[in-house]
Amino acid sequence: MHIEEIPYQADGRECVGTFAVDEYQPGPRPAVLVCHEGPGMDDHVKGRAIRLASLGYAAFALDYHGGGGGVPFDEAMGRLGELMADPARVRGLGHAGLDVMLARPEVDPARVAAIGFCFGGSMALELARSGADLKAVVGFHPGLGFVNVEDARAISGSVLMFCGADDSLIGKDARDAFEQEMIDAGVADWRLEVLGGVGHSFTNVEVDQLGMPGLAWNAVADRRCWRTTLALLEETIGAPTA
């Protein structure tokens, strides 16, 4: 396994992403861009990139706050507030990370997907809405904002969003608006899976330490959604050894 910290510039910041790949597999392979949660880069998202690499994918966990690590909670929330008001900026951050990954010789640029957690799910969706050549986009407890039917017509790949029914941050109104956007834009292949009894950040084993209502790790939901995601990746960008 080759794991490399890669510095790059985005949004006027020095960002540091994590690239992971099985160095024993020859030739370019399908690749997955991984977008972190609101508080910043952490072991959770790096671990997802490494898990994907262990299956034979190339994976790059981008950094949209800068510094390659987590940031203080208040600072992170302030920055997210700025980004939530500026979808073009979010797309720029996403494309900066995508460009880093596509520049790697281990990556097959024709077989690329993006996944994201929390606001990272918003970023993955914005990449799709921008017309990026992504064969699949997956959001785990994602923000569904920036609904834009005209932009959504540019989505060419499969879209899969996982939302907890008890998510205190992403409610039913947001889910309904996203669903209508997909329908009105004529997106060919999309799914929104609502998980009963599940809150926000359900994939992150460390979220319970925050003690915030509506945020809770759920091992069963995490495991089920990950399996579904891997099936979609194999369907859309192919098995890594293909």
What's the Cα-to-Cα distance from 188 to each of 38, 72, 158, 159, 177, rounded to whole Å? 29, 40, 8, 9, 17
- 11 by Cβ neighbours in 10 Å (0-12 / 13-18 / 19+) ranks as middle
pLDDT of res. 215? 80
Per-residue pLDDT for 242 more than 60? Answer: no
- The answer to pTM > 0.75 is yes
Domain limits of the chain?
2-237
Region 36-50: mean pLDDT is 93
Per-residue pLDDT for 213 more than 80? Answer: no
Pairing of strands 58-61, 136-140: unpaired
Report the topology of domain 2-237.
Rossmann fold (3.40.50)
Task: Identify the helix (H) or strand (E) that includes residue 237.
Answer: helix 219-237
